[in-house]
Structure 1
Amino acid sequence: NNDVLSKHFEILKDELATVVLIWTWPFGRQFDLRSCSSLYNITGCRLTSDRSQYPKAHGVMFHHREICHNLPSLLTIPRSPLQKWVWMNMESPANSPRLPGPASLFNLTANYRRDSDVWVPYGRVVEASNDDKAFKIPNKDKLVCWIVNNWNDSFWRVKYFNQLSNHIKVDTFGGHFGRYLSYRDYFKTMSSCKFYLSFENSIHKDYITEKLFNPMISGTVPVVLGPPRANYEEFIPADSFIHVNDFKTPQELAEHLTYLDQNQEMYEQYFTWRKHFVARRSDFGVEHACRICDHIKQHKGYRVFKHLNTWYWG
């Protein structure tokens, strides 16, 4: 009897759940569809990638990269007035083709921008657990490091690096430099550097990626090139990073990094935040789907997002 009741309960729970359909796997990366509860304490949600479930779905997550060149086919799909279509994208406007087609196709946005409906940043600084508070700065045998695959001479970060490297030694890794690193070696290498060049490939509001959070997790001081300092300080403590904008020239920055290298006490002040906080990376795709589901479950009002192109690309 208990088994029968348990089975009925599971069926009822499934019928009452908010259903979110992942239209395509973002960048083809699959994830565990049952992890909302364990990862984010989000219950009452059911994720699926089975398009036959489309009529039952309360929400559909569309990843920008897979639909941007195929919008006409979406317009032919019958659609319930109650179903929420969610535009999901984590690439910057500079790396995302504009969307052709109607201005009011989507109901909600899921993005790294704080003013999106479902906000999922690339990472977060959160309160440290007792285990995290035992942090020690890793041993260092390199001063400045940069790991980069995507190289373009017109990128501001490339121009800045070319000038900076005239004044200080930068240990370089990644595809562009023909020094590939495995996933394990990536973090091991990063933690062996005193400073890491957390240079974004394009400059946009709130576009602060894993290039910042990886060194913070690894016990390395990020030197950031991206949106203004004030924008970074909305996400992370002001004394946890160095911003290139704080210096008039790359040479001045190089001199400051050299000075910190010779003053251990000053260098260690960049880790004061670790007494209370720890950095975490977001889980790409699955976190978006779970938080989309939670949002749809809690917000039943009518909603349409008009002028996506104006909002995102300006």
Structure 2
Amino acid sequence: MSSDKSSFSHLRYLLLFLSFGLNLFFVYVYSYWNQYHKSPPNTVTYPTFRQNTVENSTILLLWFWPFGLQTDSNICSTMFNIDGCFLTGDRELYDQAHGVLINHRDINSDLSNLPTSPRPFFQKWIWMHFESPENTRKINGLDNLFNVTLNYRRDADIVLREQIMLKSEHTEDAIFPQVLDKKDKLVCWIMSNWNERHERAKFYNELKKHIDIYTLGRHFGKEISDVEYKETLTRCKFYLSFENTNIHYDYVTEKMFNPLILGAVPVALGVPRYIYERFVPEDAFIHVSDFPSAQGLAQHLLSLDKNVEEYKKYFEWRKHFEVKLVRYPAEHVCRACEYVRTKKDYQVFNNLNKWYWDPIDQL
């Protein structure tokens, strides 16, 4: 009997020992899992490549989100029918990224906030910028960093800009001719960034001597909302689509296209007329160079104010064409990803500063 009790006692100690050992093992496993697989509290983790992409996805690394505006990583597929793109701001994926998109405005003058690791042989660096050279810092050291350009210029690698396109289907014009009944202003201008050195400021100062101009915007002490901006353009017969530069290639902005959309006739001051005509029908706008002086322009506008049939001719383009706007920044990053995904060839770009800042050769 004593022998049986002794055996039972030994078995009980053995079971206790095994139970204690198993508990230690599970505590160790739980601690290890927490340490390596659980995020610390109050931290933000980026999705990893293996978790969130499918095989053969193109990774586009946004080194800076343009103007801090982040987009849904699936937006390229849902909005632009561009499949196979993975957008991320996770710099840990730098070595795997097929493209790195960098907005010029975010670059430090000493380049200190750009990637420092060597660029993988398959990776493309994309320089993105849509301001005029007149309002852009020239940064030394950029010439040999980027091999792809994303810009409004027609000779950029990725061209993105507002466009006049054929109507996809015959639809009733929502603006014309109804807009004619709403017009109670002759010439309008909305101006915020005033610079006396700019040609547009000099021309305005001369033009206002010969015709009344309805002015709004921060410079004139009358800031307006987006809704007021649209309402104003609808009420104006002519809008001063004055750019801040007239010597740089292809710089035609929303100052031209917004009036076209909203039913005002743009009066353009900027690049030469022949460049405007690459993007806009020649009979859809007026160019200041069409007249020998500001006074001559004023007389023409006053004449059109009295001749409705002649004025209507500036809207003939709307029968067959419409304006396509750009979705910022979603379309920019998606077109960049599409380019990297489809263009596998080797390329370099070693004269960025000259290409962008040199003036038009022929005026």
Q: Does TM, normalized by the shorter one, top 0.5?
A: yes
* Partner Cα separation in structure 1 for residue 71 and residue 115 of structure 2: 27
* Partner Cα separation in structure 2 for residue 233 and residue 102 of structure 1: 32
2:232 maps to which of 166, 169, 189: 189
Matched, 1:125 2:125: no
Q: How far does residue 103 in structure 1 lie from its aligned partner after superposition?
A: 2.7
- Report the number of matched residues: 304
* Partner Cα separation in structure 2 for residue 216 and residue 45 of structure 1: 34
- The one-letter amino acid paired with 2:106 is E
Q: How far does residue 167 in structure 1 lie from its aligned partner after superposition?
A: 0.5
Tell me, which stretches of 5 or more residues in structure 2 are unaligned? 1-49, 359-363
Partner of 2:310: 266
- RMSD between aligned residues: 1.8
Report if the CA contact (8 A) 2:186-2:305 is conserved.
Answer: yes
Q: Secondary structure at 1:224's aligned position in 2?
A: strand
1:289-300 → structure 2 map (5 Å cutoff): 289-300=333-344
Partner of 2:146: 106
Q: For each residue in 1:137-168, what CA deviation from the matched residue of structure 2 results, as whole angstroms up to 9, or x when unmatched? A: 31211011001100011110000001001111
1:16 maps to which of 26, 46, 56: 56
Distance change (3 Å), C-alpha of 1:247 and 1:61: same
Partner of 1:304: 348
1:249 maps to which of 282, 288, 293: 293
Partner of 2:17: none
Higher mean C-alpha deviation, range 67-76 or range 153-162: 67-76
* Partner Cα separation in structure 2 for residue 42 and residue 102 of structure 1: 30
* Partner Cα separation in structure 1 for residue 71 and residue 52 of structure 2: 25
Matched, 1:218 2:258: no
Report if the CA contact (8 A) 1:217-1:280 is conserved.
Answer: no
Tell me, which stretches of 5 or more residues in structure 1 are unaligned? 1-9
Matched, 1:147 2:147: no
* Partner Cα separation in structure 2 for residue 102 and residue 180 of structure 1: 37
* Partner Cα separation in structure 1 for residue 51 and residue 67 of structure 2: 32
Higher mean C-alpha deviation, range 294-303 or range 43-52: 43-52
TM-score by length of 1: 0.92
Q: Which has the larger radius of gyration?
A: 2
* Partner Cα separation in structure 2 for residue 73 and residue 180 of structure 1: 35
Matched, 1:168 2:211: yes
* Partner Cα separation in structure 2 for residue 228 and residue 68 of structure 1: 33
Q: How far does residue 176 in structure 1 lie from its aligned partner after superposition?
A: 0.6
Report if the CA contact (8 A) 1:90-1:112 is conserved.
Answer: yes
Report if the CA contact (8 A) 2:53-2:86 is conserved.
Answer: no
Identity, in percent, stands at: 49
- The one-letter amino acid paired with 1:16 is N
